[in-house]
Amino acid sequence: MKKKIVIVDDEPNIVMTLEYTFKKNNFEVYIARDGSEALDILKSIIPDVIMLDVMMPKVDGYQTLKAIKENKALANTKVVFITAKNKASDIEKGLKLGADKYLTKPFSIKQIVSEINELIA
């Protein structure tokens, strides 16, 4: 059975790159352009992993993660921040809110795939 991944980012080039990469790696891919859209998607599926940007319109990544962690059905879902916010305080905040990993942009596609596969193995 294919692993499910939700990519939540408002940057079209990042979304396109990640979507292509994870489909090529046999994932079922869902796309959300902001936290609000992601939370709507998460009402109908339970993914294996959620990749989450921090800076997005409407609902940011921190607020989205908080809502995900409050949902018992999503308790075992792995959450990975992938963001340009790379200050120690940003990373600490993301991990404290419950992210499983915090990766910063720019990133290596090879590294992202490796990190995700390791996380859900």
Which two three-digit tokens encode residue 91?
Answer: 């990373």
Backbone angles phi, psi at 64, to 5 degrees: -65, -45
Q: How many helices (H) and strands (E) does the chain have?
A: 5, 5
Q: Record the pTM.
A: 0.94
Which two three-digit tokens encode residue 81?
Answer: 């921040």
Find all residues with CB under 8 Å of 87, minimum gap 6, and list them.
none
Distance CA 55, CA 17 (A): 18
Domains belonging to the chain, first-starting first, are: 3-120 (3.40.50.2300)
pLDDT per residue, tens digit, the chain (121 aa), is: 899 999 999 999 999 999 999 999 999 999 999 999 999 999 999 999 999 999 998 899 999 999 999 999 998 899 999 999 999 999 999 999 999 999 998 889 999 999 999 999 8
